[in-house]
Chain A
């Protein structure tokens, strides 16, 4: 019966209660204030390997981080002169590219009909033996030149350059030549005696006026160029952008010239006119380093801004003013050479005008102008003389050897079949010109095709012609990472390990400070895939090319090369993945030697070679075909998180930009009854259709053209994210105009209209 009574008053009770309540309430908050579970880089040991990125052909040096055999992050390598520690969105998507669940996992041999996509999985042994057998049969019957090799991405060396030359086919080509750079490089060869070089050698650190003709930096997401451009602009450099579209670059420009498509040469000639008339060019420089000035002066006498104004639909004042902006800043002013220059079929001449202007500005070899690239020094791995000298060219191609009049001949005496010297004057192998010989055996039969890393049906114009060729070939080998559209047409498929899973040939970069990059695997190849070097070697050993593959391991190959510059794979890794050498960027570095490798040893404003070949020795404006009523000119370009037709399936990149959009002038769209977001189809003059694609009704584009990002509208069921998304510009290219100087395929001559439904 004990009775306990609490001897406290009510007030005290409540007071204690409140205090206690507050204390406990506050006490729960710090419990919530803990950091989340440690992320991947705080668990386990992070391994760093060095690599050069494969997400576009620019090859930024990267540092790759992995933990326990899983690659987790890619960032720019701070030691690399291209990336300088930074990296674009495509590069950041490299991990996602490697772990794309749609990847090809096993070698395959076709079982159904070509195009059905029916395969059986086989061992590497069987796939390689079968391939060797087939290409040896072709060599036996037609000669080794009958095997064409198309290649791109940063691993293209082994098949398109090395194997091709060892085997003996001159018919090796990269889309980066005639579908991209050729007009630019040949115009530069003709004017300066060397090609532009992989790395457009603009002296960004000191330049004071940069002009872009169509180059859409920012949407074209090239890491180094974006860095340099933003720095130069921020430093106060004047920016002039010539583009029918208000691109990102245009939005950053001091002057935007919304030029009528196809009329750039008129603008450029008028600029020459102003620079000469108003004496805004570097007369001393021209006197010392150039020939053909008098002819040039006479040529442009009547090509005034007023003349150009009617053609380009630009105000004459604007043309004159922008010429002055450039001229007043010479020699620290230049027009960016750009890259994809295959537009209208007269592109080499347009590019000649660009280089003539840069010469008038006195930019070449001057601080703040255009410096001279130099290739890094390093020995090749010794090999016997090649069966044929290569002419595949490419994005990061070295400034080449002399182009001789004689085309290199293969072992059975055949030159390349792309019409070089006949339909076009000079330049690297024109890949798209090798399609016709596959169909009609003219000039001779091409019976076999190896496609390495090229999204064939989404890159080469006139895809229906390509399909015809694929039907007629005796043998097709596709080497790829993903089941791109053309894979269904292959006889044999070799699945490649991605760049993060393999060693590779060293990347040698001509630059202001030439440098060498390495690729070392972060992890072993996934699935049953193989690096390209190993495929080339295994195939080479089976077709009698042992002498070209004397090295047992790729490490031996690379170490041997690196020894010639006092390094090794290990040393190079320890040095931070890059070896940097000294360059020869300016005129003063050349002394008495002329940096210009033309026949005259000088800049050729007037081109003898062109005159002799029957072309205009100084560019003349030629109008291009206009779109018929109701049609728009189809322009194409880039978006910053995608590369060509390569990345549309990469999960993280597809997530950020899953399908392209059709840029169309807002008023034009309204007149047709369309508003932003409406899904439409496109139809070209041949009746081909592609779509659906959402409309982007915008003020940012002229009324006579439409624009979309290249690489969409792919059709391959194996590509979960890319299949059927957006529209394909390639499928709208029922024709192209061959540039008779460089072999480039002018693809902006296709016209489309908007239609409902497919």
Chain B
């Protein structure tokens, strides 16, 4: 069982209560918000349609940000993408790699929604879910959320013939399931974000751990070997000196090394 958000954009009224609740509950600094409401309009006056893009972390299963994070500050947990800022080294790879343009730098570290990990861990709900006056947000078991999302699409098909669920399969399955009134492109959401590049997975799962590990092993191993080898070398040098002295003492005319 993993958890997920349901975000029903047919119910979202763009009031930004979620934005402020999140900023306040997470004590975000001035200049930073995890959620952004972006107005969309199409058509010309007076034949217009419009809506909101509720831009926030999509909590991908196949999370590119997690794959490129060198320190493991970004990690998956219960289907959501968490961020431990204390472990973030500020490299910015996640900012660059996210297909949804989600993480941002703040105070030298990456910053993004972590699905209110501590809040939920303590038995509560994410701040945005609690406050939404449109009841557009839910949080719970992903299977149940997906089922509800499909139900919602059926309910709103009358008003929105092109309504659809977004997030069932994108990016390996998202932890943010959207009920969209129309195609994702109408809200500037990528229809199918690119998968995490194989190179990123290779780097994170193999190259990085092996590099760190083998360096550590080499240090340990050669440390031990060094003690042994140095002893051997000193012993050897003593032997050589000993035979030279013997040769000199013997005066047998054998050429010493130091003879020109």
Which residues on A are within 8 Å of B, measured CB to CB?
Answer: 1-4, 6, 13, 16-18, 20-26, 28-29, 32-42, 73-76, 85-93, 95-96, 217-219, 221, 223-224, 226-227, 229-231, 234, 236, 246, 248, 250-252, 254, 256, 258, 640-641, 651-653, 655-657, 665, 698-703
Contacts and interface: CB of A to CB of B under 8 A. Distances in A.
A212 B234 CA distance: 97
A1 B41 contact: no
A40 B48 CA distance: 45
A396 B212 CA distance: 67
A99 to B, nearest CB: 11
Contacts of B21: 75, 87, 89, 92
Contact of A38 (B77, B118, B208, B231): B118
A252 B13 contact: yes
Given A29-B72, A76-B131, A651 B118 contact: no
B232 to A, nearest CB: 6
Contacts of B41: 246, 698-700
A36 B109 CA distance: 13
Nearest to A4: B228
Given A17-B221, A655-B23, A88 B49 contact: no
Given A699-B44, A702-B45, A21 B14 contact: no
Interface string B215-257: 1111001000100100110010011000000000000000000
B72 A32 contact: yes
Contact of A227 (B33, B50, B135, B208): B135
A28 B13 contact: no
B140 to A, nearest CB: 16
A218 B52 CA distance: 11
Interface centre among B135, B231, B238 (most CB of A within 10 A): B135
Contacts of B216: 20-21, 24
Contact of B17 (A20, A28, A92, A256): A92
B189 interface: no
B180 interface: no
A234 B10 contact: yes
27 contacts: A1-B235, A3-B231, A21-B210, A21-B211, A21-B215, A21-B216, A24-B213, A29-B72, A32-B71, A32-B87, A76-B130, A86-B17, A87-B131, A88-B131, A89-B15, A89-B21, A92-B21, A219-B14, A221-B17, A234-B155, A246-B48, A641-B16, A641-B20, A656-B23, A657-B16, A665-B45, A699-B48
B209 A223 contact: no
Contacts of A6: 225, 228
B211 A25 contact: yes
B56 interface: no
Given A24-B212, A234-B156, 20 more contacts: A4-B228, A6-B228, A20-B217, A22-B209, A24-B213, A32-B72, A35-B82, A35-B118, A39-B26, A73-B24, A74-B24, A86-B131, A89-B19, A92-B17, A218-B15, A256-B48, A641-B16, A641-B20, A656-B19, A702-B45
Nearest to A16: B217
A22 B210 CA distance: 5
Contact of B134 (A226, A250, A258): A226
B20 A700 contact: no
Nearest to A246: B48
Contacts of A230: 11, 13, 133-136
B102 interface: no
Contacts of A703: 45
Contact of A35 (B19, B20, B30, B121): B121
A89 B18 CA distance: 7
B73 interface: yes
B129 to A, nearest CB: 10
A36 to B, nearest CB: 5
B119 A92 contact: no
B135 A231 contact: yes
B27 A40 contact: yes
Contacts of B124: 41
A37 B209 contact: no
A54 to B, nearest CB: 15
Contacts of A231: 135
Nearest to A254: B159
B217 A258 contact: no
B17 A87 contact: yes
B158 A37 contact: no
A33 B156 CA distance: 41
Contacts of B24: 73-74, 92-93, 95-96, 652
B43 A699 contact: yes
Interface centre among A22, A90, A96, A230 (most CB of B within 10 A): A230
A252 B214 CA distance: 60
B130 A86 contact: yes
Contact of B213 (A20, A86, A219, A656): A20
Given A25-B210, A251-B51, A88 B23 contact: no
A29 B218 CA distance: 20
A662 B42 CA distance: 19
A234 B213 CA distance: 57
B33 A656 contact: yes
A700 B130 contact: no
B134 A32 contact: no
A85 B130 contact: yes
A681 to B, nearest CB: 24
A230 to B, nearest CB: 4
B222 to A, nearest CB: 10
B151 to A, nearest CB: 12
Contacts of A92: 17, 20-21, 23-24, 131
Interface string B166-205: 0000000000000000000000000000000000000000
